[in-house]
Structure 1
Amino acid sequence: MASFETGFSDDAGNARRGTIHTSRGDVETPAFFPVVNFIGGPTVRSGGIWSRLRNHLFGEPEFQGAMFQAMSFLDFNLTPETLEFWREQSLHEHFTDHEPVKPHHDRPDDFTKPLFVDSGGFKLLNSDTFGALPEEGGDQNNWSIYTNPESILDLQLDYGADIIATLDYPIPPNLNEEEKTQRMEDSIDSAIRCLELLEDEEDPPAVYVAIHGHDYETINWYVGTFLDRAEHLDKSFEGFAIGSLVPLRTNVEMLVDIVQGAKDAIPEDRIDDLGLHLFGISGKFTALLALLGADSFDSSSYVRAAQFQKFINRELDVSEDAIVRDPNSDDHDLGEFGFDIDKRNTRWDADWSKFTADELPDDWGCCCSACEILRDKGFDEMRSTLFNSESYKQGDDEAPMKSDFYALIGYHNFHVYQDEMDHVRELIERGDGELLDYVARMARNGVSDIDNALKRATVRDDDLARELQERGYNRLVAEREDRDQQRLDVGVPIDGRKISLEHTPDDFSVLKRDDYEIGGERVLLFVPCSQTKPYSNSRTHRAVADAVAEWNDDVHKVTVSGMYGPVPREFERESPVMSYEYVLTGVEKERQQLVVERLVDYLERYGSEFDAIAGYATSKTYRHVIERAFEEYGKGTVLPRDPEMRALTEHFRGTNLQELTDFLEQELSSVSRQ
């Protein structure tokens, strides 16, 4: 039977060791579940970097299990028929006795570890295709997947999930109060229904109830409300999983409020048998959040960093008084630094940084299994391959491809995150507040605003405040005269704008505006929308702005919104544009058609005002709709002309941005305005 149990707790803080029991094996907590894309295409050999990274992880002794997002197949433009192939047997069965990606690769290990399957709530957000199940007689979609507990649970079970998160309705930052409350109620209803459906399962997976909230009081209410409503159920659950955290990763004080709010809502008699999982958070925040009571974490940032050729670096320094000089001592072992460590007297400092592949220092000393492989292949060969645009087009010869090296960088980054998790577990096991000391020293050394986060935690945790003071970390404790007031200050503002998920394409159309005029610019440039609003403040739009800065007065930028179609720069701060939350995907065919039609209508009305028309897009779906609009209109150039991949990472590639710059230089220098 699936269960969670606490094994050992450290009196300093809420950190604990525990175990998630599943039918496929145990997971020791605190635990890191790396996000893994198992479905990278139509076969188990598909997926580029993912296909190679999976095979490294499957054979890794430190790998305890994987997080998989149920709807992630949408990123790879699968057909409903292809998805049926993946649903015919579990992912464990698909990845047993499977063939290597390339004939010269080593035969991959089987996937045998526990699989944690998230519901894919963010992918379902505002989906036209995967909405509610139509009433009897209505048209059903070709996927037989809908935003309801029955459909998503069937999908999770087909994948062979050992641990599941219930279907949730994510809460974007700053969602208006009415919609936020409704989505929380819907998530609670969904979790209750999921547990009811599992009551008759012979060997049900472990269940984590997905919860949301952007402040202490909201998530505290959420957990308490669910526990009250779940009292009648026969099916138990193993813990809570906090979602909607990824947009808050840089706001560590808010993360503290959220974790404390969830923990404080769990009754004392349930605290030891309910785990707490954090979606999308790991790395340098692991120690702090484990100190506050988080038991498991997942993240895809280890591989996203690799896609930008970045090695994550974590350095531990040990205090001089922990070095043992007597090699005959019984109380030491040979540490990772090459000298003997007295664990009874060890004080650690940690520092985090990143290096791109071409910036690795000459004395790079990482000894993880990924870096050992890289040394064998040669770091110079890695750099040469990564910066050689032809390597994607190699055949089956034995020369490494870019994906091989991206996967190895991701494998290194996994080791960094896992090493931190191992270190946190060891400090908890040693007890005596060792983890608290470690976090306090990170705060003292200025690691990612952890000092303010730790101080924030003492606002509600008097025991933590006392422990810090007794250990001499007085400046990490909130002033007593301010603490009562700070307890009331539960909200940490994000960006001030309000979000609504109720917007429709009818809420904005530039073609219906009488106050829109072209200002004499010579080039019309289409750029895909961004989650950041206004668009011009986003990282993607800033990269384009830098590339066109020399000709800024001659370029008329129009954003391609998946909700509204063309949005000229002067309308970016309109309320419907600022407050919607929607991403166009490859399966939303009707919405794609609407966007294409609006782009064509825009071009037919305004296209003749410009000497040149271009689009800069690398993400597959947005590039596709721009290409279709240009083809139907009969004019327009989509850049980059031949990207190595149809992916967002290509948006920032220097050669692609340079191609945009060269295009503008050629068009604006060779064509004069009549």
Structure 2
Amino acid sequence: MVTDSMVSFDTVAEAGEARRGQLQINDRILETPHLFPVINFYGGGNEGALFGGGVHRTIKEFLAHDNEVTGGEDYSDLFRGVMTSISSLADYGIREKKLDWYLNKEIREWECFSDYDGMIFADSGGYKILKQGGLEGEDFEKDIDQDKALDMQLDLGPDIVVNLDHPIHPDDEFEERIEKMEQTAANAAQFAERRDEVNGACYLTVHGYYEAMLERSFDLIKDELAEPIPEIFDGIALGSLVPRKDNVEVLIEAVSDCKRVMQQRGYGDLPLHVLGISGNTMPLLVAVGADSFDSASYLHQAINGKYCVNLFETVPVDEADFDACDCRICNDDFHRARMRNEMDDLYQKDILGSVAAHNLAIQQRELRQFRQLIAEGDQEQVADYLEEAVKDQKGFRKFVYQLINERMNPYFEETDTTYA
């Protein structure tokens, strides 16, 4: 039984509702706001091939600092905190014997990952498990409940775990939403009973797109717990937003309302993680109180041949101007040659692996710049940053100007219609 884990979250700077924080879990420290890139550590293969997985493998080679793939450079700064999910364990149709083999060692106990010292956030896989009805492989079908999910999460040796949740969907009827919230609350109570087994942070998942839904989600959980939420959980994870990921207005309202409910209930000091969301909405969500995110968008964009020009724009890889980008990947002759496919006998996974690393570097760079602005504590600078970021993005300007005017620095006159 684990009883001596050390978890703390400290706000070190604020600019309006945006904050810069420091999350410490035992001897690991993470600066926030932070993006946890999603990593599939076990891609159906064996350790000698870094467990396989195509482009997924190349990303693990970046994480594990494989000189042949990284060109001798250290890119560990891109992976200071990563997310993985128990649902990804069976992504490649493995047999049950291999699943048991994967879970026989913690991630850092494998020689290939032994040097990795970043944080590992182990997700319960609620969205995929609920959709599939369990965990399925070539010769097995496993029903997953809260206890089984936590067993598998702990087998990975994580720094952060979250309860098994039942995400709601925009098409759900009211009764369906309530039932799923009740199931999530019951799981949270079971999760809390095993809190002492976790050598790290425990995050609580809540669901909702607006204040009334979030109030109901928190109420149902509170009624199931024997102790107040802050005495059991170290952070809040806001879920169910992936189906609404393209609706900027809904995302801003959900995060803003969740933060407001947390503050009203005395949970405002807990870090707020937004599940499954990244990219162009991150700065806006940080501005209303989000502390961290997770996503595999950087990887999926690369797999689809997309190169990020910035948070808002992508172009086909063969049309990208690598010389115009100042990120570490594009500034390296080795990776430019790879992305241009100028090397002999290149695998596609290596070409697109460098593209994925670039895409991740772009997102991480934006958050790093935002952290610095927040550290200066100047709300007007944050507003200027957001305004500059979306000046060419018609679909975003309305929401950014509204956010600035109502919540940050009301310098737009009511008659100003430039954002319409």
Give the TM-score normalised by structure 2. Answer: 0.86
1:156 partnered with 2:153: yes
Q: 1:37 to 1:265 in 2, by over 3 A?
A: same
Q: State the 1:252 CA deviation.
A: 0.6
Check conservation: 2:37, 2:360, Cα contact below 8 A: yes
Please point out which of 186, 190, 193 is paired with 1:193.
190
- 2:307 equivalent in structure 1: 311
Please point out which of 316, 323, 326 is paired with 1:364.
323
Please point out which of 95, 113, 116 is paired with 2:121.
116
1:51 partnered with 2:57: yes
Please point out which of 180, 183, 190 is paired with 1:183.
180
Check conservation: 1:57, 1:411, Cα contact below 8 A: no
Question: After superposition, where does 1:526-565 map in structure 2 within 5 Å?
Answer: none
Greater Cα offset, 265-274 or 50-59? 265-274
1:292 partnered with 2:299: no
Question: After superposition, where does 1:462-611 map in structure 2 within 5 Å?
Answer: 465=406, 467-469=408-410, 471-472=411-412
Please point out which of 363, 369, 375 is paired with 1:417.
363
Q: State the 1:17 CA deviation.
A: 1.2
Question: After superposition, where does 1:35-50 map in structure 2 within 5 Å?
Answer: 35-44=38-47, 45=49, 46-50=52-56
Q: 1:377 to 1:21 in 2, by over 3 A?
A: closer
* Paired-residue identity, %: 28
- 2:104 equivalent in structure 1: 88
Which structure has the greater CA radius of gyration?
1
1:60 partnered with 2:80: no
Q: 1:268 to 1:399 in 2, by over 3 A?
A: same
Q: State the 1:204 CA deviation.
A: 2.8
Q: SS at 1:182's partner residue?
A: helix
- 1:262 equivalent in structure 2: 258
For 2:331 and 2:97, how far apart are their aligned partners in 1? 41
Check conservation: 1:2, 1:205, Cα contact below 8 A: yes
For 2:90 and 2:409, how far apart are their aligned partners in 1? 47
Please point out which of 10, 13, 22 is paired with 1:6.
10
For 2:140 and 2:6, how far apart are their aligned partners in 1? 30
Amino acid at match of 1:240: I
Please point out which of 416, 426, 429 is paired with 2:375.
429
Q: SS at 1:369's partner residue?
A: coil
- 2:28 equivalent in structure 1: 25
For 2:81 and 2:324, how far apart are their aligned partners in 1? 27
For 1:419 and 1:381, how far apart are their aligned partners in 2? 20
Check conservation: 1:122, 1:170, Cα contact below 8 A: yes
Instruction: Give a deviation string over 1:370-389, Cα, whole Å, max 9, x none.
Output: 2244x33654873478xxxx
Instruction: Give a deviation string over 1:607-649, Cα, whole Å, max 9, x none.
Output: xxxxxxxxxxxxxxxxxxxxxxxxxxxxxxxxxxxxxxxxxxx
1:170 partnered with 2:175: no
Check conservation: 2:234, 2:271, Cα contact below 8 A: yes
Instruction: Give a deviation string over 1:549-594, Cα, whole Å, max 9, x none.
Output: xxxxxxxxxxxxxxxxxxxxxxxxxxxxxxxxxxxxxxxxxxxxxx
Q: 1:457 to 1:352 in 2, by over 3 A?
A: closer
Q: State the 1:422 CA deviation.
A: 0.2
Instruction: Give a deviation string over 1:528-563, Cα, whole Å, max 9, x none.
Output: xxxxxxxxxxxxxxxxxxxxxxxxxxxxxxxxxxxx
For 1:466 and 1:121, how far apart are their aligned partners in 2? 33
For 1:260 and 1:161, how far apart are their aligned partners in 2? 28
Q: State the 1:129 CA deviation.
A: 5.0
Check conservation: 2:272, 2:289, Cα contact below 8 A: yes
- 2:388 equivalent in structure 1: 441
Structure 2, unaligned runs of 5 or more: 65-73
- 1:247 equivalent in structure 2: 243
Q: 1:2 to 1:282 in 2, by over 3 A?
A: farther
Task: Count matched residues.
Answer: 399
Q: SS at 2:252's partner residue?
A: helix
- 1:663 equivalent in structure 2: none
- 1:376 equivalent in structure 2: 334
Amino acid at match of 2:122: V
1:220 partnered with 2:212: no
Q: State the 1:142 CA deviation.
A: 7.2
Q: SS at 1:125's partner residue?
A: helix
Q: State the 1:213 CA deviation.
A: 1.7
For 1:148 and 1:476, how far apart are their aligned partners in 2? 53
For 1:17 and 1:165, how far apart are their aligned partners in 2? 22
For 1:473 and 1:218, how far apart are their aligned partners in 2? 33
- 1:568 equivalent in structure 2: none
Check conservation: 1:117, 1:163, Cα contact below 8 A: yes
Q: SS at 1:297's partner residue?
A: strand
Check conservation: 1:92, 1:111, Cα contact below 8 A: yes
Q: 1:170 to 1:2 in 2, by over 3 A?
A: farther
Q: 1:259 to 1:412 in 2, by over 3 A?
A: same
